[in-house]
Amino acid sequence: MDQNRLENIRLWQQRYVDERKYAGSALLIKQAGTERYFHAAGRRNVEENLDFTRDTLARIYSMTKPVTSVALMILAEKGLFHLDAPVSDFIPEFAEMQALIPGATSIDQTEPARTPTLHELLTHTSGLSYPFNPGILSQAMDHEQLMFKPNQGNLGKMVAHLASYPLAFQPGTRWEYSVSIDVLGRVIEVVSGRSLGDFFATEIFEPLGMGETGFRVPRTAGNRFASLYTPLSGDAMALNAAEPSVERLRLTDLHGGSPFETADMMSGGGGLVGTIDDYMRFTEMLRQKGRTRDGFILSPKTIEFMMKNHLPGDIASMGPQSFAEQPMDGMGFGLGGAVVLDPARARCPGSVGDFSWGGMASTFFWVDPVQDLSVVFFTQLAPSSSYPARAELKALVHGALTA
């Protein structure tokens, strides 16, 4: 990588701070396991004038999903289930499902539907949704606050409540970003007989040395936990009612009173907090096809399987109507993240086979098997759709490659 061209990334990070798009950010790049770039810019906490540093703790939101997907595949490798198993095998409340009829105008306009499979949950083709998506089901979920927030209590009870609602569409017929990975978090608990937090800690975090990642901010973190900001006037997660705020960095969550400091919900879809170096350890495990310091979390063949496109075409071909963390044209979806099928159609520099995902607070990661790259970007601004930072960042990183 050209060091002079990498300077463009530092300038870009600073420009986002100067323009009050992000309060601060950190970017870490490794190539073939060697660190090529790290830079932190701006503040993790504007109000207290605290720098965004390498050991800053951040909400990674949906970057939790790849971790949960890896956890599920750890159990699959033990032969405890197959991916075409219906989720009702583990959560009986999903046994008799209904789906909204095409063109439904109320939540009670339904027809019988089969139970989604674990594979459909992994690939967001299950018929589940999110409260911030458009549509009738999303409205009902929003009314009942079916969001799996850190202070929303027991995971099992929330998943059982979710199962009482119809699906947005017949399983397997569309792609829609959803709480399906939260449901899989409950499947992991049922199959393993352990809490999701305990399973993550012993099976993933400890082997990888991710000592500051979990569903709660560590007690030792102090003021290292970053503040969360939004450019919206209302709830940063209420995308259907998004209105810009006069203040571009409006504070929405601060250390000392954050629900992430006392979390009682283990959300496999969006509940983790951690440091950039911790998440790079997870990203590097993916790049190295499951390898850890002392062995393998998953076999290389399983990681290769996860990082393939599991859809019949790209995401756009499956009629999505939802918010997503990535472009949809030229992008497929694997188990836990998006897969680049055609960089030209995605309108973003990259390699065929790039595996990536992001979080609602604008965090982002990707693994490039062609360039042997691992890239992790941390900031704390919600929603992630506020600025085209991810596409700009990929262009900057690829612009620094010299071969």
Q: Helix 155-162 crosses helix 180-192 at what angle (to 10 degrees)?
A: 130
CATH number, residue 313: 3.40.710.10
The Cα–Cα gap between 395 and 398 comes to: 5
* Residue range 131-162, pLDDT digits in tens: 999 999 999 999 999 999 999 999 999 999 99
198 in any annotated domain: no
Same domain (yes/no): 89, 229: no
* 197 within a domain of the structure (yes/no): no
pLDDT (0 to 100) of residue 261: 96
**Which among 120, 139, 122, 356 is positioned nearest to 241, based on CA atoms?**
139
pLDDT digits (tens, 9 = 90+) for 6-56: 999 999 999 999 999 999 999 999 999 999 999 999 999 999 999 999 999
Residue-range definition of the domain harbouring residue 187: 74-192
* 306 vs 246, residue with greater confidence: 306
Looking at 161, 192, 223, which one is the last position of a domain? 192
* Residue 365 confidence (pLDDT): 98
- Does residue 67 form part of some domain? no
DSSP category for residue 296: B
> Does one domain contain both 82 and 139?
yes
- The amino acid occupying position 236 is A
Residues 345 and 385 in one domain: yes
Non-local CB neighbours of 34 within 8 Å, separated by 6+ positions: none
83 and 118: one domain?
yes
Task: Concatenate the DSSP letters of all residues of 157-219 into one string.
Answer: HHHHHHTTSPBSS-TTS-----THHHHHHHHHHHHHTS-HHHHHIIIIIHHHT-TT-BSS--G
pLDDT band of 240, cuts 50, 70, 90: low
Evaluate whether residue 220 is within a structural domain: yes
Q: How far apart are CA 179 and CA 288, in angstroms?
A: 28
Question: What phi and psi, each to the nearest 5 degrees, are found at residue 70?
Answer: -65, -45
345 and 306 within one domain: yes
Q: What is the pLDDT of residue 236?
A: 75
351 part of a folded domain: yes
Q: Are residues 24 and 79 in the same domain?
A: no
Same domain, 186 and 224: no
Residue for token digits 């082997």?
207
With beta carbons less than 8 A apart as the criterion, state whether 44 and 401 touch: no
For the chain, the average pLDDT equals: 95
Rounded Cα distance between 158 and 162, Å, is 6
pLDDT (tens digit per residue) in 247-300: 899 999 999 999 999 999 999 999 999 999 999 999 999 999 999 988 999 999
Q: What is the pLDDT of residues 179-233, one digit of tens each?
A: 999 999 999 999 999 999 999 999 999 999 999 999 999 988 999 999 999 999 8
Taking 80 as the threshold, does the pLDDT of residue 242 lie above it? no
Is 17 among the domain residues?
Answer: yes
Number of domains in the chain: 2
SS (H, E, C) 56-93: CEEECHHHHHHHHHHHHHHHHCCCCCCCCCEHHHCCHH
pLDDT higher than threshold 80 for residue 395 = yes
- 66 domain-assigned: no
| pLDDT of 239 strictly over 80 | no
Residues whose CB falls within 8 Å of the CB of residue 32, separated by 6 or more in sequence, listed in order = 372
Q: Which two tokens stand for residue 123?
A: 């690939």
